[in-house]
Amino acid sequence: MRWKTLGVVALATGLIGNDVSAFGTTQSLRPVIRPGSEVLPQVENVAASEVIVRPKLRPSDLAGAPIPAVTQAASNPGFERWIKGFERRARAQGIRNETLRAAFNGVQYDRDVIRRDRNQSEFTKTIWDYLDSAASNTRIANGKAALKRHQTTLAAIEKRYGVEKEVVVAVWGLESAYGTYRGKNDIVQSLATLAYDGRRGAFFEEQLVAALKILQNGDTSPRNMTGSWAGAMGHTQFIPTSYLDYAVDFTGDGRRDIWADDPTDALASTAAYLKNFGWVKGQPWGVEVQLPGGFDYALANRKITKSPGQWARLGVVGTNGRAVPNHGKASILLPAGGQGAAFMIFKNFSVIERYNTADAYVIGVGHLSDRIKGGPAIKASWPRGDRALTFSERKEMQQRLTRAGFSTQGVDGKIGPKTIDAVRNYQRSQGLAPDGYASLSLLKRLR
């Protein structure tokens, strides 16, 4: 839970720049795979588009192979020197020599990890394209099957942690396609490479030390510690610091094993994580709503919260035309502006955000969980004739808005609250509906 910087572009939306919600979420808690940066696997019954988080070290974990000096495995001279320095820093944080030697045995500088880290995807998906994949018929069917297959375990997890089993399964579905794609990168090698690279060195070195602590605790062995190129591990893709803080041994075998084919510890750890950040059982993440004619789009702001009854008095009702049940204070979210679906979102939306701050991801988890439970598809249409702005186009929009007198407080290519406010102010000045939607047509008008 110690992301110092996002560092990696979030999935699908580009809606996370400068994003601070009314519930206090300011950062993503694990690296996010960029669209297009992963080669999707071909796995049985899962389409490629379906893949989008204390015992002592056992002597047997360290035996069986010669243990050279830590630096001998590295093929890059600079990497070798970095490892020598890192060894000293790791020892100062309680990492023992035998843990270092076992962990770094055979580890080399991984150029492919750096290639992926540098692959800043120019194009992103629209919210509707992302949701088409996140809650596709295949993913829904596989989620229902996973729920049935593990129903006894998931019921016990829900009883202990108070997090609905469908939500846990939905996170599992988006993070690893229900365990079919957990990542095969050697975590120590990936994190060491990224820490040495230095672009976000402090963060990745912190993760590497945490990974070594996991090994020293005996939860897994070095070469069994695998995951994504950026350090996320197991069925639900925990980063090492998150694992240390929140992973649980639900099976009672003495290991918090999120890597095993048996997903029990990983699913329980996900529920424990969500509970820790305030999950409210029985409260939806959000509800699709209808907006009245003439709705004041300035009210669609995460900082503005009202009870469902108060929203109903303003004409905001459920898709059935009635007031949304009172699940607590809520705000209105328009992920595609006034031309797409509208959602009334509750505190649990911000809890899912602790996994990933991208609105598309949170809606994806929430909507997938609803569909696994038997709920309906999103009823509103989307502006499917639009395409997503490229990264350079988003930066251009911020530059043009600022030059026009509507400052975005920086140019980072991420459409967060400050940019949305600037868009709204510009739209008002042009007599347009101030829905804050950063569309291609708006950029053309700015040009």
Measure Cα distances from 71 to 84, 104, 211 in Å. 7, 8, 18
CA dihedral 191, 192, 197, 203 (to 10 degrees): 50
- Exposed, middle or buried: residue 398 (CB in 10 Å: 0-12, 13-18, 19+)? buried
CA angle centred on 256, ends 194 and 94, rounded to 5° = 55
The separation between CA 18 and the C-alpha centre of its own chain, rounded to angstroms, equals 16
Taking the domains of the chain in order of start, what are their residue ranges? 36-278, 391-446
pLDDT value of position 414: 87
Closest C-alpha among 335, 354, 338 to residue 286: 335
- Each of the 447 residues of the chain gets a pLDDT tens digit; together they read 333 222 222 333 333 332 223 333 323 233 233 333 333 333 334 444 444 432 333 333 333 333 333 333 336 899 989 999 999 999 999 999 999 999 999 999 999 999 998 875 666 889 999 999 999 999 999 999 999 999 999 999 999 999 999 999 999 999 999 999 999 999 999 999 999 998 899 999 999 999 999 999 999 999 999 999 999 999 999 999 999 999 999 999 999 999 999 999 999 999 999 999 999 999 999 999 999 999 999 999 999 999 999 999 999 999 999 999 999 999 999 999 999 999 999 999 999 999 998 999 999 999 999 999 999 999 999 999 999 999 999 999 999 999 999 999 999 998 888 999 999 999 999 999 999 999 999 999 999
Q: Is pTM beyond 0.85 here?
A: no
**Which residues, 6 or more positions from 422, have their beta carbon under 8 angstroms from its beta carbon?**
398, 401, 402, 406, 407, 408
pLDDT value of position 120: 58
pLDDT value of position 123: 64
Q: Are 172 and 180 in contact (CB under 8 A)?
A: no
The DSSP line for 231-278 is S-BTTTTB-HHHHHHH---SS-SS---SSSSS-HHHHHHHHHHHHHTT
pLDDT value of position 78: 93
pLDDT value of position 124: 80
